[in-house]
Chains A and B, each alone.
Chain A
């Protein structure tokens, strides 16, 4: 479903050239839950951003559903993102000025889903994430776990083919962290492809495959025989 070929990302400032990703070749199949691990600065987030079409590679190819999206313009990437990819971040990245309901609704607005259907789907998601009572609150009024549940709801609301999660548990205590991981696993079981970046070996275990990155290279890929217990 996702496939990279010799993917490179080089950041250039006036004097320094930093290679963030070097010859990355990975493949993610439909329905998989892939964890990406590695120390700080190894390029995990850069890779995830490129996979999520939020950034473009400096060289190499990236095929999304067999289409070479690495040559897309920002305009085409934007329209391709819409409805295909959902994001969950460590810092939740909710819009502070919008309520819980409005934050979750936002992707549907850009997809021009009619208002009545939007309402129905957002309410379903609110129920599913058990935050219905909080729907009129603003992000700052919620706990971290609640915020991340809103973010997950927003990521899935448009029923994307893949969810990209960038340390979704990084800002959460263990109880809330497990809760979010449970949500992601459930989504995966329901058929959504998930790629997750994490520091935590425990949470990485939720995936059925772990990719280790170090200094911009893929060092190992461990395929688990058995998914999580």
Chain B
């Protein structure tokens, strides 16, 4: 019996190649897209789930509320870890943690700047499952200057020699390698190449790590099995309250976040890695379901549209004794085999495009459809779902025909079937239009962010970390470079949006500023404001010719002025404490001399944050060079010559500010690409469906078209006649799609502090695109049908 089904199916395939290809291709592309998204989603969901203690590991975070606008941050005082371990019984283990970024490492007389260093306490190794392949967990971080390196770092530095016992010089401090760790899995939110003891930080930073009022580090805890989050939260808050100085009217609450949530749930700011976003996981999962639906609908529509051709066979089978159940089974098995073939094709497609997909998503994606149980189950589920979704309607409709009507000759599609197919086409185009609007919105938003007035000029601005003598000789180097062709201006200080410092322990008009205001501290050269092209709106800037003494005056952005309070303006007194032995020591003080128009100091998903700039020659670590457009190469070459002269022991590394800013939006930029591609695929599949339906409609109306042509209709008349229906369907789809797209895109944009308006133009464009594509697809079929010689179609009637 089954053999007969397959025979029929195979012979049908061969007989109607075009139809078969459309059907199979649509389904395969839909399934491939769905699988590809699933691979990505699976990877996103796998973050930090490989730790054996995963269930009991948490990161501390804090909710600050000063003025009714609560802030959430995962940065905590460094002293918190030890205090929690001592005073909160539920905390079994605790560690401080920080990622220090790339470090200058000297080894064998050569210097390197590639490895990321992280700092932690010994508990870290017991809490997290980062297994050691050499060395002992108990002693690996026992000494202040012990160092654990990953396997790949060990191979880079030591080749085949045993790394344990070797010495590496990191930032002029010798560290002894005590252990080798397996490379950090790609799906870990903590990322580093080497790990040292937290106390290996330079002496001058120790003050900060011991201060309860400075929140700048991460704290991870392992809780006992009986612990409840509420208890731990309350007890931690109590511990902090005992130690921390109080701010009037402020509430500060500590809480814990399960580590498995860190990657995707970043409502808590100050994250470690280029995080994911649960919103995108939902968004893409929805996209996967939509693609599957669109492909399923195609199959359903093409199959039922062809029902009239199939009906005869079905009727004959009934006549010779097939029961309805026999026929339902046959039709479902047909769908099943088609789906299985499509899935196999899809698997091949995904395998082929996996490198591209990895590239888009910036991940090393794994796809093992037949060995990974989860993947295999999902694929099986998709096959079953698609078969039932796409196959059940045709199976039940076709099997219900009364044989006598069918055998009389052609049967005509029943009105409810036509209505159903139209509804399905509308559904497909609703999905397509929503996706097109989504893709356009993402595009617009990213362009908007890129082109947004930042409050300073980011173009052609090169910056680099000054090292060795280069830094000491900055004034002379500045003079030399300013005289070089290709260089317009030279200044020093960290350009906005490339990194930030917090202004710990500031008093304004004698009042202590809570560090939780996220007040930025930006030591700059005297001509920084001019070189950055910031706009002074009150007072003046530092006098670039050196008329002001260093550290005497402050220039703030508008947000800083409003944050600090109504009594603060040009002329207010500001004092910085700390930086020397204890934080209570006055460091320097002066008056606010100017206010600049707001500029963005931190990435745009945040609102503008407050920042204090001061002329601080001792704290200038970055040189900023405004390059003349088109002469970048000469400028870079000139800088390189000086670098080789004064800092040849350090690698020559520079960046452009606009590139750095683009990096912040990498997640969004990748999202844009992926979303664009899948949108195009969804539209492609929908159009394939239309081709099928239109060509079928043309076949069905051959006689009608022939008669119309004989009576004098032009090809144009016929094309219009046949296209109108589909274009109307697309227009109807727009009615549903517009509000849906409005809602969804609005939700996505909410996360940006600065966002584009979604205008009607964008919707109009999306609808126009959809209508054009529908008209073009249907039009081609219509022209083909209309151009045929009418005699051919009428001869056999």
Contacts and interface: CB of A to CB of B under 8 A. Distances in A.
Interface in A44-69: 45-46, 49, 52, 54-55
B320 A97 contact: no
A110 B323 contact: yes
A78 interface: yes
Contact of A98 (B4, B312, B408): B4
A184 B338 CA distance: 42
A94 B407 CA distance: 11
Contact of B4 (A89, A94, A96, A106): A106
Interface stretch (B8-16, B237-245, B517-525, B765-773): B8-16
Contacts of A79: 323
B323 A89 contact: no
A74 B321 contact: no
B319 A98 contact: no
Interface in A88-129: 89, 93-98, 102, 106-107, 109-111
Contacts of A82: 321, 323
B314 to A, nearest CB: 10
Interface string B496-538: 0000000000000000000000000000000000000000000
Contact of B404 (A54, A102, A158): A54
A87 B404 CA distance: 12
Contact of B7 (A87, A102, A110): A102
Given A55-B402, A106-B317, A109-B4, A97 B12 contact: yes
B419 interface: no
A30 B7 CA distance: 38
Contacts of B12: 97
Contacts of B319: 52, 54, 81, 87, 93
Contacts of B318: 54, 78, 81
Interface string B320-335: 1111101000000000
A8 interface: no
B313 A78 contact: no
A123 B7 CA distance: 20
Contacts of B322: 78, 110
A14 to B, nearest CB: 10
A95 B313 contact: yes
B381 interface: no
B316 interface: yes
A83 interface: yes
Nearest to B403: A54
Contacts of A54: 318-319, 402-404, 407
Contacts of B321: 78, 81-83, 106-107, 110-111, 158
B317 A97 contact: no
B324 A74 contact: yes
Interface of chain B, main secondary structure: helix
Nearest to A93: B316
Given A110-B320, A110-B323, A158-B321, A93 B407 contact: yes
B711 interface: no
B7 A107 contact: no
Contact of A97 (B15, B405, B407): B15
A209 interface: no
A154 interface: yes
A107 B402 contact: no
B312 A74 contact: no
Contacts of B7: 97-98, 102
Contacts of B324: 74-75, 78
Contacts of A46: 404
A1 B162 CA distance: 99
Most buried by A among B11, B320, B404: B320
B313 A89 contact: no
B78 to A, nearest CB: 77
A47 B633 CA distance: 93
A74 B402 contact: yes
Interface in B286-343: 312-313, 316-324, 326
A50 B323 CA distance: 18
Nearest to A45: B408
B1 interface: yes
Contacts of A87: 319-320
Nearest to A50: B404
Interface string B1-45: 100100110011001000000000000000000000000000000
B8 A97 contact: yes
A109 B1 contact: yes
A110 B330 CA distance: 12
Interface in A165-195: none
A48 to B, nearest CB: 9
A106 B408 CA distance: 21
Given A54-B402, A95-B313, A75 B323 contact: yes
Contacts of B1: 109
B415 to A, nearest CB: 10
Nearest to B323: A78
A197 to B, nearest CB: 13
A93 B312 contact: yes
A55 B321 CA distance: 14
Interface string B393-407: 000000000111101
Contacts of A94: 316
A78 B320 CA distance: 9
Contacts of A107: 320-321
A164 to B, nearest CB: 10
Contacts of A97: 7-8, 11-12, 15, 313
Nearest to B405: A55
Most buried by A among B1, B317, B318, B319: B319
A177 B596 CA distance: 104
A55 B4 contact: no
A54 B402 CA distance: 7
Interface in A121-143: none
Contacts of B8: 95, 97-98
A49 B11 contact: no
Contacts of A52: 319
Contacts of B323: 75, 78-79, 82, 110
A79 B318 CA distance: 10
Most buried by A among B4, B313, B321, B326: B321
Most buried by B among A54, A75, A106, A107: A54
B325 to A, nearest CB: 8
A45 to B, nearest CB: 8
Contacts of B408: 45
Contacts of B312: 93
A106 B313 CA distance: 12
Contacts of A95: 8, 313, 316-317
A7 to B, nearest CB: 14
Nearest to A84: B321
Nearest to B322: A110
A8 to B, nearest CB: 15
A78 B8 CA distance: 22
A146 to B, nearest CB: 18
A144 B446 CA distance: 69
Most buried by B among A52, A78, A81, A94: A78
B311 to A, nearest CB: 12
A155 to B, nearest CB: 9
Q: Which 7 A-B pairs have the closest CB atoms?
A: A82-B321, A55-B404, A110-B321, A49-B404, A54-B404, A97-B11, A107-B320
10 contacts: A78-B324, A81-B318, A82-B321, A87-B319, A93-B312, A93-B319, A97-B11, A102-B4, A106-B321, A109-B1
Given A55-B402, A107-B320, 13 more contacts: A45-B408, A46-B404, A54-B318, A54-B402, A55-B405, A78-B318, A81-B319, A82-B323, A94-B316, A96-B313, A98-B7, A110-B320, A158-B321
